């Protein structure tokens, strides 16, 4: 297949100062949960994106000095010369595929608690740490400012030595000292670095000039600037100081990478924003500079990308998440394989790798984070080792990915699904308010399966152990998913809650099956009890809430949808629920029920708080649908006669978890089938610390 000429413009080279990007695809800096702790993992992940056609590949935030130590979060290190080999590993991986390597030098100022280095944090003015750490930054004096400029310059020189082509001066996400100097909120100084905008921008300008002076002969100097903080007049706004900063510095950097601040605004989930959502804030930039402009907006559609370029919004298509979900996105556009693009669903599971400090994972791309340690490539997979046939039971995310990856290996696969359509929980959840993009998990996989002559799909085929034994496939994979329980068992209640039978009790499955729907809801308040504490209870509350219907969300958590702090959504979710009138009762456990009444109890004091309740919707925990698996295991003695050699459960049928975990589980099964089994306890490579001399 060849490229659609409409997309030719995306493959034009772009000059960035002294270097040239081979096309307009630009992987902007992004965290990955690996950073300096897993340098080979980071390097191989970045190199694969270069292979996939991104012309520029950037690091995550890379700390320039021990006073900028953001541990426990795993970012890059460029503290001294010892860090150069790890950085060079990344540039070599990127250069091997003809792409440019960019480094986001970062000093976090008062944002970094310096927990590992134990240095006193630095800031324009005395300031409490922006996270929850009981640490204050001290106001910098002139010596500190001179030191900071020297550290930044030295870090730029080390970056050049490590082979980087683009060196950033970073003022974004409310976690860069240069942004803190620019910000009236953070900078209360009365010297030449405070007061007027010109004064507040002074240090940023000096850092750009220093960097150009140090490395600008061979490296492009890029800036990353937050042009809007989405906090109105208290912050930088794109029609106020954001605009004026770009006007002041217009031609100074070699490239403008413009974004929103803080990270939760920049990386909004699909529940709260559409593709291209940053345009209204960033589109002014090109009118003020002749230098190339990069911006993001969860771009996955080549038509949208072309439109951004043609309408003069951006020069280069920036992407973090779309490049994680599909490292080969540019190559697929280039080769005219648009249907093969694995579009980001905007769920921010990848982000949670950073805050939980483990290699990032992705709902759509099960290979991310595994490129080096498991040698998993997002597009390549070993060919089958035998002609054995595989039956996959269940067409949810686990079964679909398992069938797809087995099909890609060349196995003959039969996928049997009980329902009338594929997708399992993904199809259900994508029908809820704001989650329609999640259907891409299903659609990418069904789109691939129809192209595979070696994979057959049977719908409306609810299989029993008898059926499976009759068919006689060598390998049977049980991907039958899970169901929500209605007895209250979850995190807080470890045994069934007694006394709920005075009320109609529903689970999310009742909503998905239509047993509970907007019209069938009993009159009176619906209480949603959320002990799952991820997104589902909150999104059900939003879906069910109608004018005139009382919806009460009670949770043992302090916040609604507490785990969504890790996906950067929590404050948006809570604000939305409050805006639409959902009543929120935090710190509450279940204590029983009466007529039209639910008994709740304070999780600290056990004090009773009764609420009016016509029906209870329990979102607590799930049980695997393991009946088929169990009955096949009980009939192990019949396998040989049926020709079965293995029966394996995967995904939620094994243990309910995230959609990302189900996709990973299906993918892992497919990768490991017929491969030599290792006796090692650890199934992946680890990058162990170098043992220094005592």
Q: Residue 209 to residues 156, 170, 183, 242, 565: CA-CA distances in angstroms?
A: 12, 13, 20, 20, 37
Distance CA 530, CA 620 (A): 6
Q: How far is the CB of 627 from ligand ADP (least distance, A)?
A: 8
Q: Which does 394 bind (CB under 5 to 8 A by kind): ligand SF4, ligand ADP, none?
A: ligand ADP
Q: Which is nearer to ligand ADP, 239 or 462 (CB)?
A: 462
Residue 398 is a binding residue for ligand ADP (CB under 6 A): yes
Distance CA 204, CA 210 (A): 10
Q: How far is the CB of 669 from ligand ADP (least distance, A)?
A: 11
Q: Which is nearer to ligand SF4, 262 or 569 (CB)?
A: 569
Q: How far is the CB of 574 from ligand SF4 (least distance, A)?
A: 20
Q: How far is the CB of 341 from ligand SF4 (least distance, A)?
A: 12
Q: Which is nearer to ligand SF4, 121 or 346 (CB)?
A: 346
Q: Which does 363 bind (CB under 5 to 8 A by kind): ligand SF4, ligand ADP, none?
A: ligand SF4
**DSSP letter (8 states) at residue 119:** P
Binders in 606-625 for ligand ADP, by CB under 6 A: 625
Which member of 240, 419, 447, 586 binds ligand ADP (CB under 6 A)?
A: 419
Q: Which is nearer to ligand ADP, 260 or 479 (CB)?
A: 479
Q: How far is the CB of 432 from ligand SF4 (least distance, A)?
A: 16
Q: Provide the CA 184 distance to its chain's centre, in angstroms.
A: 31
Distance CA 457, CA 471 (A): 15
Residue with tokens 């009762």: 585
Per-residue exposure over 17-47, b if at least 16 CB sit within 10 Å of its own CB, e if not: bebebbbbbbbbbbbbbbbbbbbbbbbbbbb
Residue 660 is a binding residue for ligand ADP (CB under 6 A): no
Q: How far is the CB of 662 from ligand ADP (least distance, A)?
A: 4
- Long-range contacts of range 145-149, CB-CB < 8 Å, 24 or more positions apart? 145/193, 145/203, 148/65, 148/107, 148/122, 148/177, 148/203, 149/203, 149/206, 149/207, 149/210
> Using CB under 6 A as the criterion, what x/- string covers residues 422-461 for binding ligand ADP?
--xx-----------------------------------x
Q: How far is the CB of 429 from ligand SF4 (least distance, A)?
A: 13
Q: Residue 280 to residues 113, 285, 303, 576: CA-CA distances in angstroms?
A: 34, 11, 18, 22
Q: H or E stretch including 105? A: strand 100-106
Q: Residue 396 to residues 13, 423, 441, 479: CA-CA distances in angstroms?
A: 41, 4, 9, 7
Q: Which is nearer to ligand ADP, 213 or 462 (CB)?
A: 462
Asked if 267 and 308 count as a contact pair (C-beta separation under 8 A), the reply is: no
Helices (H), ranges, 140-236: 142-161, 177-182, 197-215
Q: Which is nearer to ligand ADP, 258 or 479 (CB)?
A: 479
Question: How many CA atoms does the CB half-sphere of 451 hold within 13 Å?
Answer: 11
Which member of 156, 166, 325, 416 binds ligand ADP (CB under 6 A)?
A: 416
Q: Which is nearer to ligand SF4, 125 or 448 (CB)?
A: 448
Q: Which does 347 bind (CB under 5 to 8 A by kind): ligand SF4, ligand ADP, none?
A: ligand SF4
Residue 463 is a binding residue for ligand ADP (CB under 6 A): yes
Q: Which does 397 bind (CB under 5 to 8 A by kind): ligand ADP, ligand SF4, none?
A: ligand ADP
Estimate the crossing angle of helix 197-215 against helix 241-249, to 10 degrees. Answer: 40
Say whether the peptide bond before residue 262 is cis (omega within 30 degrees of 0): yes
Asked if 475 and 391 count as a contact pair (C-beta separation under 8 A), the reply is: yes
Q: Which does 395 bind (CB under 5 to 8 A by kind): ligand ADP, ligand SF4, none?
A: ligand ADP
Question: How many CA atoms does the CB half-sphere of 298 hold within 13 Å?
Answer: 20
Binders in 623-642 for ligand ADP, by CB under 6 A: 625, 628
Q: Which is nearer to ligand SF4, 223 or 319 (CB)?
A: 319
Residue 417 is a binding residue for ligand ADP (CB under 6 A): yes
What torsion do the CA atoms of 573, 579, 585, 586 make, to the nearest 10 degrees? 40
Three-state DSSP class for residue 87: helix
Size of the site for ligand ADP (CB under 6 A): 26
Q: Which of 391, 488, 399 is nearest to 442 (CA)?
A: 399
Q: How far is the CB of 616 from ligand ADP (least distance, A)?
A: 23
Q: Which is nearer to ligand SF4, 351 or 465 (CB)?
A: 351
Q: Which does 321 bind (CB under 5 to 8 A by kind): ligand ADP, ligand SF4, none?
A: ligand SF4
Q: Which does 364 bind (CB under 5 to 8 A by kind): ligand SF4, ligand ADP, none?
A: ligand SF4
Asked if 308 and 331 count as a contact pair (C-beta separation under 8 A), the reply is: no
Which of the residues are catalytic?
31, 170, 173, 266
Residues that bind ligand SF4 (CB under 6 A): 321, 324-325, 344-350, 362-364
**DSSP letter (8 states) at residue 37:** G
Q: Which does 338 bind (CB under 5 to 8 A by kind): ligand SF4, ligand ADP, none?
A: none
Q: Which does 399 bind (CB under 5 to 8 A by kind): ligand SF4, ligand ADP, none?
A: ligand ADP
Asked if 439 and 364 count as a contact pair (C-beta separation under 8 A), the reply is: no
Which member of 309, 358, 382, 418 binds ligand ADP (CB under 6 A)?
A: 418
Q: How far is the CB of 628 from ligand ADP (least distance, A)?
A: 5
Q: Which does 342 bind (CB under 5 to 8 A by kind): ligand SF4, ligand ADP, none?
A: none
Residue 673 is a binding residue for ligand ADP (CB under 6 A): no
Q: What are residue 226's DSSP bridge partners? A: 259
Contacts of 485 (CB under 8 A, 6+ apart): 507, 618, 620, 621, 622, 623
Q: Which is nearer to ligand ADP, 263 or 534 (CB)?
A: 534
Contacts of 473 (CB under 8 A, 6+ apart): 389, 390, 391, 414, 643, 644
Q: How far is the CB of 522 from ligand SF4 (least distance, A)?
A: 36
Contacts of 52 (CB under 8 A, 6+ apart): 323, 326, 327, 328, 329, 330, 331, 378, 379
Q: Which does 418 bind (CB under 5 to 8 A by kind): ligand ADP, ligand SF4, none?
A: ligand ADP
Q: How far is the CB of 536 from ligand SF4 (least distance, A)?
A: 16
Residue 345 is a binding residue for ligand ADP (CB under 6 A): no
Q: Which is nearer to ligand SF4, 603 or 657 (CB)?
A: 657
Q: What are residue 475's DSSP bridge partners? A: 390, 646
Residues that bind ligand ADP (CB under 6 A): 393-399, 416-419, 424-425, 461-463, 479-482, 625, 628, 651-653, 662
């Amino acid at each position: 297949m060849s490229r659609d000429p409409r997309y030719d413009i995306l493959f034009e080279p772009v000059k960035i100062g002294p270097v040239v990007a081979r096309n307009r695809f630009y992987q902007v800096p992004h965290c990955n949960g690996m950073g300096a702790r897993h340098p080979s993992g980071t390097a191989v992940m970045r190199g694969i994106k270069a292979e996939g056609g991104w012309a520029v590949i950037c690091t995550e935030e890379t700390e320039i000095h021990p006073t900028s130590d953001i541990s426990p979060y795993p970012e890059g290190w460029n503290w001294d010369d010892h860090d150069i080999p790890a950085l060079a590993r990344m540039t070599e991986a990127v250069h091997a595929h003809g792409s440019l390597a960019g480094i986001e030098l970062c000093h976090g100022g008062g944002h970094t608690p310096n927990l590992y280095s134990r240095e006193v944090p630095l800031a324009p003015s005395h300031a409490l740490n922006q996270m929850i750490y009981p640490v204050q930054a001290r106001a910098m004096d002139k010596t500190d400012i001179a030191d900071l400029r020297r550290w930044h310059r030295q870090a730029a020189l080390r970056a050049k030595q490590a082979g980087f082509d683009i060196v950033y001066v970073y003022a974004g996400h409310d976690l860069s000292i240069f942004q803190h100097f620019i910000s009236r909120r953070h900078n209360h100084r009365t010297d030449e670095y405070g007061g007027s905008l010109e004064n507040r921008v002074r240090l940023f300008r000096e850092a750009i000039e220093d960097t150009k002076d140090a490395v600008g002969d061979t490296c492009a100097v890029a800036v990353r600037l937050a042009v809007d903080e989405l906090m109105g007049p208290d912050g930088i706004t794109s029609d106020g100081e954001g605009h004026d900063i770009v006007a002041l510095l217009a031609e100074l950097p070699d490239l403008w990478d413009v974004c929103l601040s803080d990270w939760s605004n920049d990386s909004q989930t699909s529940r709260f924003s559409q593709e291209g959502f940053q345009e209204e804030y960033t589109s002014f930039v090109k009118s003020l500079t002749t230098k190339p402009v990069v911006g993001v907006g969860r771009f996955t559609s080549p038509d949208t990308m072309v439109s951004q370029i043609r309408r003069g919004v951006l020069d280069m298509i920036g992407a973090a998440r779309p490049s994680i979900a599909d490292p080969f996105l540019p190559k697929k556009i280039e080769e005219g394989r648009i249907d093969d693009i694995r579009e980001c669903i905007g769920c921010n599971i990848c982000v949670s790798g950073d805050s939980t400090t483990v290699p990032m994972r992705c709902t759509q791309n099960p290979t991310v984070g595994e490129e080096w340690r498991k040698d998993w490539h997002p597009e390549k997979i070993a060919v089958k080792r035998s002609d054995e046939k595989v039956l996959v039971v269940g067409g949810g995310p686990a079964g679909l990915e398992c069938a797809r990856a087995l099909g890609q290996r060349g196995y003959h696969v039969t996928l049997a699904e009980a329902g009338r359509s594929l997708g399992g929980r993904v199809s259900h959840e994508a029908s809820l308010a704001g989650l329609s993009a999640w259907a891409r998990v299903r659609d990418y996989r069904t789109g691939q399966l129809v192209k595979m002559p070696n994979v057959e799909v049977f719908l409306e085929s609810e299989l029993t152990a008898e059926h499976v034994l009759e068919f006689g496939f060598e390998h049977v994979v049980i991907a039958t998913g899970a169901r929500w329980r209605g007895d209250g068992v979850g995190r807080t209640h470890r045994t069934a809650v007694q006394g709920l039978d005075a009320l109609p009790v529903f689970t999310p499955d009742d909503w998905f099956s239509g047993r509970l729907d907007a019209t069938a809801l009993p009159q009176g308040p619906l209480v949603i009890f959320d002990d799952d504490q991820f997104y589902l209870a909150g999104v059900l509350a939003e879906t069910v809430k109608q004018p005139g219907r009382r919806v009460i969300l009670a949770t043992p958590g302090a916040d609604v949808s507490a785990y969504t702090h890790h996906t950067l959504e929590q404050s948006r979710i809570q604000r939305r629920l409050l805006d639409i009138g959902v009543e929120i009762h935090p710190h509450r456990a279940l204590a029983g029920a009466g007529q039209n009444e639910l008994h709740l109890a304070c999780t600290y004091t056990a004090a009773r708080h009764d609420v009016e309740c016509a029906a209870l919707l329990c979102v607590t925990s799930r049980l695997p649908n393991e009946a088929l698996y169990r009955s096949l295991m009980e009939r192990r003695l019949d396998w040989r006669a049926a020709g079965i050699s293995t029966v394996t459960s995967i995904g939620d049928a094994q243990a309910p978890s995230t959609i990302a975990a189900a996709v990973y589980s299906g993918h892992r099964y497919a990768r490991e089938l017929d491969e030599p089994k290792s006796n090692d306890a650890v199934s992946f490579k680890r990058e162990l610390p170098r043992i220094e001399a005592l």
